[in-house]
Structure 1
Amino acid sequence: MRTSKNLGLLSTVVLLGSFLVACGDSGSDVQPQIPIIAFTTTISLLDQQNTALRFDNGVQYVDGGLKGLIVVRQKAGSYLAFERTCPYRPTDACALVSIDPSRLFLADTCCTSQFSIQGQVQGGPSRYPLRQYATSLNGNLLTISN
């Protein structure tokens, strides 16, 4: 009798597990993840090409990451760095986040997702914020790493 109870419980668990898998996210809702790569990029804030990062809310492109980086100076000594690969369908060739000409937000023209300069979703189909990387400032050298 104990064996039949165990088999009955096992059948219920298997059935419930199958039901949960079948009712999970549909394939169209599941977004592929941005590949994780190890990197370290150091830039000099004194370099002429980095002048935008000398002012609060300055935004500019920097080499690094998977498809490049967007770096934002929040205020003196406080920087954010984001992956340019859009989190919505990141394997699409055109999934590239750019700085809007207004410099007030970031956008992917391929999928029409928009992000604040803090990397948060503001519109479009993306449900995920931009991937953020670690930053550290030592004098005039800003290091960005994963």
Structure 2
Amino acid sequence: MTWFSFRSFTAALGAACLGLLTSCEGTSEAQPQIPLTAFSEVLYLTDQQNSALRFDNGAVYHKGGVRGLIVVRQNASTYLAFERTCTYNSADTCARVKISPFVQLVDPCCKSQFNFQGQVQGGPANLPLRRYPTSLSGNVLTITN
């Protein structure tokens, strides 16, 4: 390859890369990141405050994460823990997911809806809720990040 064709190639490659980078600016998919936070929380499933976790699709609030956690029981051996910060416009102080009586999770601020697996069901959010690892030992559920 000659010097001239190499320069032309690198200039074209640079222009293409710049075009790709700038084409994403200003789109509705550019969402603020939810900050990472280290924590380790323990839930005792026998506590009265966690009684909703005795049934499949039961959900409770718990401390931890950035704006708190929602813990959902899928079955007797599987529990999911989600960040309460909504994935749509997470920097907004109002962006906090709540447990809805209609068997879903909802951000009342932006109206995004999520199922009990954390997947988007409606609203402007297009990313699932942040999920944290859980570990079950007897009646003790540990949630970590």
Q: TM-score range by the shorter chain?
A: over 0.9
Q: Give the distance between the partners of 2:31 and 2:88, measured in 1 at CA.
A: 7
Q: CA–CA distance in 2 between the matches of 1:134 and 1:111?
A: 26
Shift of 1:43: 1.1
1:6-54 per-position Cα deviation (integer Å, ceiling 9, x unaligned): 2111211122222222322425430011111111101111111111111
* Deviations 1:97-142 (CA, angstroms, capped at 9, x unpaired): 000133x001001000011111111100000111111111011100
Q: Which residues of structure 2 form unaligned runs of 5+?
A: none
Q: Distance in 2 between matches of 1:40 and 1:131?
A: 16
State the one-letter code of the partner of 1:2.
Answer: T
For residues 55-85 of structure 1, give each alpha carbon's deviation from its aligned partner in whole angstroms, at most 9, with x where no partner exists.
1111110111110000011111110110000
Once residues 31 and 118 of structure 2 are traced to their aligned partners in structure 1, the CA distance between those partners, rounded to angstroms, is 18
* TM-score normalised by structure 1 residue count: 0.93
1:78-89 to structure 2, matched below 5 A, reads 78-89=78-89
SS at match of 2:125: coil
Distance (whole Å) between structure 1 residues aligned to residue 57 and residue 77 of structure 2: 12
Partner of 1:130: 129
Supply the distance in 2 between the matched residues of 1:90 and 1:61 (Cα, whole angstroms).
Answer: 18
Counterpart of 1:60, as a letter, is: V
Q: Considering only aligned residues, what root-mean-square deviation do their CA atoms show, in Å?
A: 1.4
> Could you say which residue in structure 2 is the equivalent of 1:112?
111
List gaps (5 residues or longer) in structure 1.
none
Q: Given the alignment of the two structures, is residue 64 of structure 1 paired with residue 76 of structure 2, yes or no?
A: no
TM-score by length of 2: 0.94
- Counterpart CA distance in 1 for 2:113 and 2:33 is 18
The one-letter code of the counterpart of 2:107 is: D
- Tell me the SS of whatever aligns to 1:42: strand
1:53 aligns with: 53
| 2-structure distance, mates of 1:45, 1:101 | 21
Residue matched to 2:18 = 18
Letter in 1 for 2:125: S
Q: Secondary structure at the match of 1:21?
A: helix
Percent identity between matched residues is 52
